[in-house]
Amino acid sequence: MTNIKDLAKMAGVSVTTVSRVLNNHPYVREDKRNAVLEAINRSNYQPNINAVHLSTGKSFLVGVVVPYIDHPYFALLIKGMASEALENNYKLVLFQTNYLETREIEALQMLKQKQIDALIICSRKCSWSTIEAYLLYGPIILCEDTRGKRVSSTFVDHYKSFMIALEHLYQKGHRKIGYCIGRKSGTNSRQRELAFKDFVENYHLPYEPAYIFEHCTHFEDGEQVIERIQQMSNPPSALLVTSDEVAAGIVTCAQNRNISIPGDLALLGFNNQPIAKMMNITTIEIPLVDIGRKLFLQGINISKEAAYQEIPVTLIERETV
């Protein structure tokens, strides 16, 4: 098979010149460029793009770390990144981690090995110090509040949005409020927990750990929430549900069991996914596709300074509160 050295010999130029022509480098003398192009034609040379990437130091690949691919929250972030990648002639390399740290480190290793040009971490298990150790190898972008750290981010202030949601429920007369969440660890979840604690303290409400429902990620997880509530002697009257998908599952399960929403149980979802609109779920709108776009652009527009983009959220009132 013809390689880059053969081409150089055929064209009577150096290997560097061939590489520059293959990369559309501007500083190549016209006669040399033509000689290389002619050699390519004569030899039926097929460039191995990894050779090109080796010489340019760019892969035009951006890595994306998500715990699950089959969840609308992450799917919508990826959708935004994918459309911006397309616009900018990049491709996405997907790391589905299931929140295993080893898989996150594999992604970081790919950045170190220059197989990807940037890494976007949508949600993580690994510690901050792990990420810090890879910062010198390329841009790492996070979807969480990184203010004060040397990492760019596009994020929602989950403390603030949780507080908006909690105060809305309070104003509607609710005093027994709980919430459903995917996992308790993680930066965003801890911000939400903090908001919840501050809220009950500010309003002199009891802090009731049983009102916090973990492992609420998918539609079908709504069932266990209803089951646990039905077993409580003093159940919550309202729930924040950090995914509309789960809120929809709770609504569906409640209908099957003749539990009135919002009469018996008020629900306030998050994200404003299409399912929330269709099922008339009151929700906090988080523009996930747009956040995905912004995360991607931070990954490819290299800047020395870390940039922090906070994305505002909006309460959308419908029929479940």
Give the C-alpha separation, 224 to 7, whole Å: 66
How far apart are CB 187 and its own copies at their closest, in Å?
A: 24
- 145, 155 Cβ separation under 8 angstroms: yes
CA within 13 Å, CB half, 267: 31
How far apart are CB 202 and its own copies at their closest, in Å?
A: 37
How far apart are CB 299 and its own copies at their closest, in Å?
A: 15
Sorted by sequence, the CB contacts under 8 Å of residue 132 that are 6+ apart come out as: 150
Q: Which CB, 151 or 253, lies closer to its own copies?
A: 253
How far apart are CB 75 and its own copies at their closest, in Å?
A: 4
Q: Which CB, 37 or 94, lies closer to its own copies?
A: 94
Q: Where are the beta strands (DSSP E) in the chain?
A: 61-66, 91-96, 118-121, 140-142, 152-155, 177-180, 212-213, 238-241, 266-271, 283-285, 308-310, 314-316
Q: Which CB, 48 or 202, lies closer to its own copies?
A: 48
Q: Which CB, 73 or 162, lies closer to its own copies?
A: 73
How far apart are CB 6 and its own copies at their closest, in Å?
A: 15
- 16, 37 Cβ separation under 8 angstroms: no
Of 250, 241, 263, 246, residue with least CA distance to 321: 263
- 243, 216 Cβ separation under 8 angstroms: yes
Q: Which CB, 49 or 232, lies closer to its own copies?
A: 49
How far apart are CB 79 and its own copies at their closest, in Å?
A: 5
Please give the single-letter amino acid code of residue 238: A
- Count of CB atoms situated within 10 Å of the CB of 112: 15
Q: Which CB, 105 or 306, lies closer to its own copies?
A: 105
Q: Residues in the site for its own copies, rule: CB under 8 A?
A: 22, 24, 46-54, 57, 59, 61, 68-72, 75-76, 78-79, 82-83, 86, 91-96, 103, 106, 110, 112-115, 218-220, 222-223, 249, 252-253, 255, 274-275, 277-279
Distance of CA 285 to the CA centre of its chain: 16
Q: Which CB, 212 or 251, lies closer to its own copies?
A: 251
How far apart are CB 196 and its own copies at their closest, in Å?
A: 27
Of 289, 285, 248, residue with least CA distance to 267: 248
Give the C-alpha separation, 102 to 132, whole Å: 16
- 166, 211 Cβ separation under 8 angstroms: no
